[in-house]
């Protein structure tokens, strides 16, 4: 598949706060109730799909247009940013970096532009995430990963998507490890409470 010359285009729009939280995993780790943090105890993922544009994502008829647009915007937020093109190219290779368009800058930072640079975006990957909390609640959201140029893939789409898949795998493992720690912490707290109750009974 050939590398597109243009980055995906979509109208400026305010993303759904609910979907953004789900995509970034914040809903899995940051919710609280009654002053007690609600921790994630299980996380599962499906296999992400890669797209070279928002239009391609919509045409695949897997996600809604809104989800495709939101995932693209969140992917832009995750693209590495540098203060100079020299700094960017030192990391990603000569000719691999560009200044963001005004639209990309708006979606990535919420600003109208700025003197920063990023590796040329080639597309993005989108997948589903299901999480379960310590209170038994479940939530489903999207996760995403930008696909961009660097010195290892030299702008090759397949190589770039492989690298994006590796980054997703690392993220998934981190989230699973965190979920395991949270599950163990929840179990320990439950056990401590039971032991405390038992000691109270012994002394009565």
Q: How many residues does the chain have?
A: 204
Residue 34 has pLDDT above 90, yes or no: no
Q: Give 83-132 pLDDT, tens digit per residue.
A: 999 999 999 999 999 999 999 999 998 876 668 999 999 999 999 989 88
Q: What b/e readout covers 113-132, taking b as 16+ CB neighbours within 10 angstroms?
A: eeebbbbbbbbbbbbbbebb
pLDDT average, residue stretch 25-53: 70
Residue 131: its pLDDT value, please? 86
Q: Cα 198 from chain centroid?
A: 44
The whole-number pLDDT of residue 191 equals: 58
Share the mean pLDDT of the chain: 79
Distance of CA 98 to the CA centre of its chain: 22
Q: Quick one: which of 51, 48, 116, 115 has its CA closest to 88?
A: 116
Q: How far apart are CA 37 and CA 48, in angstroms?
A: 29
Share of the chain above pLDDT 70, in %: 73
Assess whether pLDDT exceeds 50 at residue 26: no
**Whether 9 contacts 103, CB under 8 Å:** yes
DSSP H helices, the chain, are: 17-24, 26-29, 54-59, 65-78, 85-92, 102-109, 157-202
pLDDT of 4 reads 43
Tell me, what's the pLDDT at 113? 64
Q: Are the C-beta atoms of 142 and 67 separated by less than 8 Å?
A: yes
The candidate with the shortest Cα–Cα distance to 176, out of 127, 138, 129, 126, is 129
| Interatomic CA distance for residues 30 and 108, integer angstroms | 22
Domains of the chain, by residue range, sit at: 17-183
Q: Which of 96, 102, 200 is nearest to 156 (CA)?
A: 96
Q: Could you tell me the pLDDT band of residue 19, with boundaries at 50, 70 and 90? A: very low
Tokens 């939530």 found at:
139
Nearest to 128 by CA among 105, 112, 144: 144
Contact partners, residue 140, CB within 8 Å, separation at least 6: 22, 128, 129, 130, 131
Q: Give per-residue pLDDT as tens, 128-187.
A: 989 888 888 888 889 999 999 999 999 999 999 999 999 999 988 998 898 888 888 877
Helix 65-78, helix 17-24: angle, nearest 10? 50
DSSP 8-state symbol, 84: S
- pLDDT of residue 197 exceeding 90: no
């Amino acid at each position: 598949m050939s590398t597109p010359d243009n980055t995906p285009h979509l109208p400026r729009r305010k993303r759904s706060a609910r979907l953004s939280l789900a995509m970034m995993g914040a809903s899995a780790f940051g919710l609280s109730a009654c002053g007690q943090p609600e921790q994630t105890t299980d996380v599962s993922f499906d296999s992400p799909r890669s797209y070279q544009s928002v239009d391609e994502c919509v045409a695949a008829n897997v996600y809604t247009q809104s989800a495709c647009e939101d995932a693209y915007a969140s992917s832009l937020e995750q693209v590495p940013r540098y203060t100079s093109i020299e700094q960017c190219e030192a990391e990603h290779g000569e000719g691999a970096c560009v200044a963001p368009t005004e639209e990309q800058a708006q979606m990535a930072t919420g600003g109208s532009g700025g003197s920063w640079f990023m590796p040329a975006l080639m597309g993005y990957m989108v997948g589903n995430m299901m999480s379960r909390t310590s209170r038994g609640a479940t939530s489903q959201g999207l996760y995403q990963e930008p696909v961009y140029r660097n010195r290892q893939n030299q702008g090759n789409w397949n190589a770039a998507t492989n690298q994006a898949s590796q980054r997703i795998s690392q993220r998934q493992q981190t989230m699973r490890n965190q979920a395991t720690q949270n599950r163990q912490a929840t179990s320990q707290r439950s056990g401590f409470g039971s032991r405390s109750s038992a000691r109270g009974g012994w002394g009565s």
